[in-house]
Amino acid sequence: RYTVALLQSACFDLACVSLSHRCDDEMEFAEHAALLFCASLGPREGGFVIASDANLCCGRFKTLLVERIRFVDLLPYLPQLLRGSLPHNDRRLVRQSARKICLRSDAGKWDIHLDGEPFVDADDNCAEVVLEVLPAHLSVRLYD
């Protein structure tokens, strides 16, 4: 299901959105033409290793922002994505680590998915989203 969605979006819609983002206590927003922005607590997203250095226990999001890219230039990334070996030193793949992320875009121009499920779409007219890791807000208990 995720592979089909990935291929459909790659083949039919390489439209980028104008995205501004700010991590933690940065004062200025960074401006990007973004194909994709992913904030992960763990290494995998939809079965793909997106953030190999992510750790659920560190209390930080690992982010991946994919800058504007032509379809033909996207093709070499697909085998790397399938192997879980996206490069860490590529200027089109912007990576950061943060506890709090603020994202802005033109209302009605972007879609947001949480864990593969639609959360915000163009009809919601949303212009800003804030993601924050809240320490000690999830309690997991193991019982014998």
**Mean pLDDT score, 127-141:** 84
Q: What is the pLDDT of residues 64-103, one digit of tens each?
A: 999 988 777 888 999 998 998 888 889 999 999 999 999 9
Domains in the chain: boundaries: 2-132
What pLDDT digit, counting tens, does each position of 2-34 carry?
A: 677 666 665 655 678 899 999 998 999 999 999
Bridge partners of residue 49, in order along the sequence: 44
Q: How far apart are the C-alpha atoms of 126 and 144, rounded to whole Å? A: 44
Beta bridge partners of 112: 120
Q: Which residue is listed with tokens 């991590």?
A: 23
Q: What is the C-alpha R_g of the chain?
A: 16
CB burial string 76-100: b at 16+ within 10 A, e below:
ebeeeeeeeebeeeeeebbbbebbb
Q: According to the model, what pLDDT value does residue 128 have?
A: 93
| Spatial separation of the C-alpha atoms in residues 49 and 102, rounded to whole Å | 23
Evaluate if residue 49 carries a pLDDT over 60.
yes
CATH number of 2-132: 2.60.200.40
What is the pLDDT, as a whole number, of residue 12?
Answer: 56
pTM for the model stands at: 0.79
